[in-house]
Amino acid sequence: MRFPIKEIEQADDSAICKIIKNVGAEFGAVGDGFGPSDAEVLAMSQHYHKSSRSVYLVAKLKDKIVGGCGIAPFDDTGTVCELKKLFLLPESRGLGIGRELTQQCLAFAAEAGFKECYLDTLQNMTAAIALYKKLGFTQLDQPLPGTEHNGCDVWMLKRL
């Protein structure tokens, strides 16, 4: 099955915002301390730019945006990035879309010169956690200092 992946554009903002908020609610990621409540979710295309060492990718299935995933600097060190907002609609799960989005984001991160990639998520997002482990992420005992998502209960790191 083909699923085109591309960098987010302004025309995609509404669709990906709805996906992030709806899927976040599905897994209980609602309110302060969770990614779907970040202000950037309202206009993702304005916050991710290769010139700032960040990218947000969206995937389509049958000409409909079904999910996305991004990379952005985590802190001021310039060596740690964060995998951000991997959210997929139910009908697009299990097709390899999440894996492909994540792999493309990690390739971008390595090319941008990052040395490590951090992420935070929820324990009930078991399919995502399994994917992250397959891609080489290891679980941490606590979040990295400076994380914005204090509602999350799983923290992972990958050497790039």
Query: Domain holding 26: CATH number?
Result: 3.40.630.30
Q: What is the pLDDT of residue 115?
A: 98
Place of tokens 């697009």: 92
Q: What is the pLDDT of residue 36?
A: 85
> Pairing mode, if any, of strands 80-88 and 116-121?
parallel
3-state secondary structure of 130: helix
Residue 157 or 76, more confident: 157
At 116-134, the pLDDT tens digits run 999 999 999 999 999 999 9
Q: How far apart are CA 146 and CA 124, in angstroms?
A: 23
Q: What is the pLDDT of residue 148?
A: 85
Q: What is the pLDDT of residue 105?
A: 98
Domain encompassing residue 119: 5-159
Q: How confident is the model at residue 86 (pLDDT cuts 50, 70, 90)?
A: very high
Q: How far apart are CA 78 and CA 80, in angstroms?
A: 6
Residue 134 tokens, joined: 């397959």
Residue 18 tokens, joined: 């709805």
At 41-73, the pLDDT tens digits run 999 999 998 888 999 999 999 899 999 999 999
What predicted TM-score, i.e. pTM, was given to this entire model? 0.94
Q: How confident is the model at residue 31 (pLDDT cuts 50, 70, 90)?
A: confident
Please state, rounded to an integer, the average pLDDT across all residues of the chain: 94
How many domains are contained in the chain? Answer: 1
Residue 142 tokens, joined: 């606590």
Q: How far apart are CA 49 and CA 62, in angstroms?
A: 26
Q: What is the pLDDT of residue 35?
A: 86
